[in-house]
């Protein structure tokens, strides 16, 4: 964990110190996961994945390192989040080994999960010298 904390997600910055996200990612692989709104489906997160780029064809709840389930109103569920339909989300999975998905309103859908490594280090001189 100490190594990951030492690597900045955005290592380039403006002269004022504002982060500049990289436009280049390095894909490690693609996983597809079919899910329904009845039973949760699970996948293992590859060890090479530092980040997950997720696209879902339908709204879903996902949970990292636990089984996703609908909660009672006002109940906090750790490591759960909503993935909107037809939207890409980049997620740092916090070193979780698995995640599960459950549909929210529709009969089902497919999650496309791209395992990626963090943005490439471009190493421009401006990255180190702010004047």
Residue 11 pLDDT:
53
Residue 6 pLDDT:
42
Residue 100 pLDDT:
92
pTM value is 0.69
User: Domain residues of the chain, as ranges?
Assistant: 2-127
Residue 19 pLDDT:
61
Q: Which CATH architecture has domain 2-127?
A: Sandwich (2.60)
Which residues make Cβ contacts (< 8 Å) with residue 117, sequence separation at least 6? 25, 26, 28, 48, 49, 50, 51
Q: Which parts of the chain have pLDDT scores under 70?
A: 1-15, 17-24, 119-131
How far is Cα 111 from Cα 108, in angstroms, rounded to an integer? 10
Residue 121 pLDDT:
54
How far is Cα 88 from Cα 42, in angstroms, rounded to an integer? 19
């Amino acid at each position: 964990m100490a190594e990951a904390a030492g690597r900045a997600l955005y290592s380039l910055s403006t002269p004022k110190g504002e982060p500049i996200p990289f436009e280049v990612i390095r894909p490690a692989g693609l996983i597809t996961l079919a899910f329904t709104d009845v039973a949760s489906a699970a996948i293992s997160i590859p060890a090479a994945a530092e980040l997950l780029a997720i696209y879902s064809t339908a709204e879903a709840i996902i949970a990292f390192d636990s089984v996703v389930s609908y909660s009672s109103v006002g109940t906090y569920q750790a490591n759960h989040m909503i993935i909107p339909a037809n939207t890409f989300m980049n997620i740092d999975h916090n070193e979780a080994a698995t995640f599960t998905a459950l549909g929210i309103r529709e009969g089902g859908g497919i999650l496309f999960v791209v395992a990626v490594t963090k943005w490439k280090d471009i190493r421009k001189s401006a990255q180190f010298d702010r004047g």
